[in-house]
Structure formats: structure tokens, C-alpha cells
């Protein structure tokens, strides 16, 4: 019989890539979305998936809606990708970020324990939990947490609640501690997509400059399409566990900028980039770099798309969007 999966965050970046993977594996896929006056199916449409998903309406801050959905669907696998995921915005909406990212996870876990205790649960944890912590420049499953934003703090709560329901009630729960992953479906506020969109606008004559914050921050950037494979693999193992997922390589925001301008064939990026204090953060995470040896050994997972190819893929997609080539 076909397996049933419920994905929260189905309209975001990762939701559509994961849905594509599960549909290819013959799953029936339910997608949880909030109520909108005007829903945006752009990312699912981009992959041609909108008509293949069974949508259910609910909200991570509405516990009763989650209880009902879990009770009715009783999925084999639940992937919790929904979140207020923008770190920069989490200082301005700290309470909402906490309600969605922290309490929302408690509500989901409680719903599973009550109505569907055999469901396998994936929690979208993040390298932002490490914040300032690293050993020799890397972070792995043994690295302590030192989150630097309300977002990172909310995710630490969710991480431990996910572990706690495993240890207290024997639920099959996994944390994927994912490092930054990007794609043409990335939200426009995140720095990679902001850069590729900005470059395409400049190329199309729609913008004269690109305002950015800290160009020195370093991130371990991979491709979202590769990372959803790791999520799925975690829930196929015989025992639940927590895994770091990343490429093992990192680059600065400036390196991303240089490459994006190069691929768009715009010489001298310095003529266009304006350093704007509005995009600097009250507390920065300066360097992230994964040591994903556990994922490689136990899941057989490794990032496939290189940094250069990722930047090119995103630049090409945005140039196409603006018909700027
Ligand atoms: P994303 O593009 O921001 O998508 C998040 C989704 O969550 C959106 O579709 C959003 O719905 C939904 N959502 C927000 N609040 C909700 C609520 N109260 N109830 C129901 N749905 C809600 O994020 P992503 O990049 O796909 O990331 C997926 C998950 O992985 C997130 O939890 C993120 O924190 C985590 N993560 C991401 C990365 C990364 O580099 N991408 C790395 C580590 C961890 P709307 O469309 O209504 O806004
Ligand atoms: O920032 C710097 C900024 O917003 C990356 C989320 O998916 O990954 C993401 O969080 C870096 C930071 O991603 C601008 O200061 C410079 O150092 O693209 P970002 P993030 O904060 O790393 C983690 C793993 C998640 O879990 C999150 O959900 O770029 N930066 N100038 C800028 N950042 C933005 N957004 N805009 C700028 O203008």
C-alpha cells in the first residue's frame, strides 16, 4: 500500500522539493497550509506539483487544527518544515517566531502521541542553533548550542522537545540539523536569492544597485533538492536519531556576490553593491561549516551540487524570470 506523508510548510522552499521526491516514490502527499485570502502556489507550480498535493488547512499556532488533522490522516511520516524561518525578522517578531517554531512543534508532537504514535516525525532543525560554537571551524552532532537570534533559540526548544518525545514516549522522531540550502525557490529575503534576483534586475535594467549587510559572514551553502533526500532517508532507518546535513565547505557572502555578477556577465560588482546598515543583524553568526560524517556513514548521504553550480543555477533562473539574457 502507498505510504502517506504529511508535509507542513508545503508552500515554502523545501516543501515542494520534498513533495516531488515523495511523489516519485509513490507516496500520497498531504500538505498543510495556513488560511490565506490569496494563497501563493508559485513554488509548487514551478515544479508542476500543485494538482498532485492534497491540501489541508491548519496553523502551527492553532493546536486544535493540528490535533484534528493528525487524527484524520494518521500519516506514516510527518515532515515538519513549517516555520517563521527568516533569522533577520525574528528580532522584530520574537514572540510569533517562538509560538510557531517552538510551541508549534510541541503541539505536533502532542498530537502524534495522542492520535498517531507510530507516525515517524522529522523536525527541521538548523545550524543556527550552533551560532557561535564550533570546534576547529566545524559543527557536528556533538557541538554545543549557542544560538544568536530569537529564531535560533526557538529552534533549540523544538530540537529538545523532539528528542524528549523520543526519550519519554518512544516516538520515532528525528532532528535534521540542516545547514543553509538554497535553490531558485528560495524566499526573496534570504541573501542568496536576494543577490541573484538583484543581479537579474540590474541586468534587465530594472535596478541600479543592490543593498546588502555583512559581506564577511560565511555559510555552508548547498542545494535544497539534495537536502530533502537526507530528510527522507532519516525516516527510513530502523532507529531514530539526529543528523547534521551540509556540504562541509563554506563561502562568504562576498564570494557569492562575486560569482553571481560573474555569471550574469556584469563586470565590477563593487559599482553596484551598497553596504546598508539596515541589513546588519544585532548579533551575527559569523561562520558555519558542517561536518556531516554521521549522515554520510549511516544514511549514505552526501551533497551533490557544488557551490559554483548552485550559484549558476540560481542566477540563470532569475535571469530567465526577468527575460534578461
Ligand atoms: P520557508 O521557505 O520559509 O517555508 C516555511 C513554510 O512554513 C512556509 O510555507 C510558511 O507558510 C510555513 N509557515 C510559517 N508559519 C506557519 C504557521 N504558523 N502555520 C503553518 N505554516 C506556517 O522555509 P524553508 O527554507 O523551506 O525551510 C524549511 C524548514 O527548514 C523551516 O522550518 C526552516 O526553519 C528550516 N531550515 C531551513 C534551512 C534553509 O537553509 N532553508 C536550514 C535549516 C533549517 P507561508 O507560505 O504561509 O508563509
Ligand atoms: O543570511 C548575511 C546575513 O538570511 C545569510 C535560514 O534558512 O539558514 C538561513 O538563515 C548571511 C547572514 O540566511 C544580507 O547577515 C548580508 O550572515 O540568507 P540569510 P541565515 O540567516 O543564514 C539557516 C540555516 C536557517 O535555518 C534559516 O531558516 O548573509 N547578509 N547581507 C544578509 N542576509 C540577508 N537576508 N539580507 C542581506 O541583505
For residue 98, pLDDT beyond 80 = yes
State yes or no: is 126 an active-site residue. yes
Runs of H (alpha helix) within 56-124: 63-73, 94-98, 104-115
How many Å lie between the centroid of ligand 2 and the Cα of residue 236?
A: 31
How many Å lie between the centroid of ligand 2 and the Cα of residue 113?
A: 34
| Measured CA distances, 110 to 35, 74, 259 (Å) | 22, 13, 46
| pLDDT at res. 136 | 82
The reply to whether the predicted model has a pTM over 0.95 is yes
Of the ligands numbered here, which is closest to the C-alpha atom of 251? Answer: 2
Average pLDDT over residues 61-80: 98
- 14-33 tens-digit pLDDT: 999 999 999 999 999 999 99
Average pLDDT over residues 194-212: 98
- Report the alpha-carbon distance of residue 251 to residue 57 in Å, rounded: 39
> Does ligand 2 come within 6 angstroms of the Cβ of 127?
yes
Runs of H (alpha helix) within 123-178: 150-169
Average pLDDT over residues 97-120: 98
Average pLDDT over residues 146-159: 98
**Residue nearest atom 8 of ligand 2, based on CA coordinates:** 180
- Report the alpha-carbon distance of residue 60 to residue 34 in Å, rounded: 8
Q: Which residues pair with 278 in a beta bridge?
A: none
Over its C-alpha atoms, the chain yields an Rg (Å, rounded) of 19
| pLDDT at res. 282 | 97
| pLDDT at res. 149 | 98
For residue 135, pLDDT beyond 80 = no
For residue 1, pLDDT beyond 90 = no
Q: Quick check: helix, strand or coil at residue 88?
A: helix
Share of the chain above pLDDT 70, in %: 100
Q: Which of 10, 36, 85, 310 to mutate to test the pocket of ligand 1 (most atoms within 8 A of CB)?
A: 85
For residue 155, pLDDT beyond 90 = yes
Q: Return the higher-pLDDT residue of 102 and 134.
A: 102
- Report the alpha-carbon distance of residue 175 to residue 151 in Å, rounded: 16
**Residue nearest atom 24 of ligand 2, based on CA coordinates:** 180
Q: Which of 129-138, 235-244, 258-267 has the lowest mean pLDDT?
A: 129-138
**Residue nearest atom 1 of ligand 1, based on CA coordinates:** 12
- 163-176 tens-digit pLDDT: 999 999 999 999 99
Contacts for 273 with CB less than 8 Å, ≥ 6 apart? 209, 210, 212, 215, 257
Q: Are 180 and 222 in contact (CB under 8 A)?
A: yes
Quick one: which atom of ligand 2 is closest to the CA of 126? Answer: 26
Domain ranges of the chain: 4-181+221-245, 187-219+250-287+305-321
- In CATH, what is the architecture of 4-181+221-245? 3-Layer(aba) Sandwich (3.40)
| pLDDT at res. 253 | 98
| Measured CA distances, 133 to 123, 126, 145, 146, 214 (Å) | 21, 13, 7, 6, 19
Matching CATH number, 187-219+250-287+305-321, of 2.70.98.10, 3.60.70.12, 3.40.190.10, 3.90.25.10: 3.90.25.10
Q: Which residues pair with 323 in a beta bridge?
A: none
Amino acid at each position: 500500500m502507498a505510504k502517506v506523508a504529511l508535509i507542513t510548510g508545503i508552500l515554502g522552499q523545501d516543501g515542494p522539493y520534498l513533495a516531488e521526491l515523495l511523489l516519485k516514490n509513490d507516496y500520497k502527499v498531504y500538505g498543510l497550509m495556513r488560511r490565506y485570502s490569496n494563497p501563493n502556489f508559485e513554488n509548487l507550480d514551478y515544479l508542476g506539483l500543485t494538482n498532485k498535493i492534497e491540501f489541508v488547512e491548519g496553523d502551527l499556532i492553532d493546536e486544535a487544527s493540528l490535533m484534528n488533522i493528525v487524527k484524520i490522516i494518521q500519516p506514516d511520516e510527518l515532515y515538519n518544515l513549517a516555520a517563521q524561518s527568516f533569522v533577520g525578522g525574528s528580532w522584530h517578531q520574537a514572540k510569533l517566531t517562538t509560538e510557531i517554531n517552538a510551541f508549534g512543534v510541541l503541539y505536533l508532537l502532542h498530537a502524534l502521541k495522542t492520535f498517531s504514535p507510530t507516525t515517524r516525525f522529522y523536525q527541521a532543525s538548523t545550524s543556527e542553533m550552533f551560532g557561535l560554537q564550533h570546534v576547529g571551524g566545524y559543527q557536528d552532532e556533538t557541538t554545543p548550542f549557542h544560538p544568536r537570534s530569537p529564531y535560533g533559540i526557538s529552534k533549540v526548544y523544538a530540537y529538545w522537545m523532539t528528542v524528549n518525545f523520543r526519550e519519554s514516549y518512544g516516538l520515532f522522531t528525528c532532528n535534521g540539523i540542516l545547514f543553509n540550502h538554497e535553490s531558485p525557490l528560495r524566499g526573496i529575503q534570504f541573501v542568496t536569492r536576494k543577490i541573484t534576483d538583484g543581479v537579474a534586475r540590474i541586468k534587465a535594467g530594472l535596478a541600479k544597485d543592490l543593498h546588502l549587510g555583512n559581506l564577511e559572514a560565511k555559510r555552508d551553502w548547498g542545494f535544497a533538492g539534495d537536502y530533502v533526500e537526507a530528510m527522507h532517508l532519516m525516516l527510513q532507518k530502523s532507529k531514530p536519531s539526529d543528523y547534521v546535513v551540509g556540504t562541509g565547505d563554506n563561502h562568504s557572502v562576498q564570494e557569492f556576490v562575486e560569482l553571481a555578477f560573474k555569471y550574469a556577465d556584469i563586470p565590477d560588482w563593487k559599482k553596484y553593491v551598497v553596504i546598508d546598515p539596515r541589513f546588519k543583524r544585532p548579533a551575527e553568526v559569523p561562520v558555519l561549516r558542517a561536518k556531516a560524517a554521521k549522515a554520510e556513514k549511516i544514511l549514505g548521504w552526501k551533497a551533490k551540487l557544488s557551490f559554483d553550480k548552485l550559484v549558476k543555477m540560481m542566477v540563470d533562473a532569475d535571469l530567465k524570470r526577468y527575460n534578461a539574457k
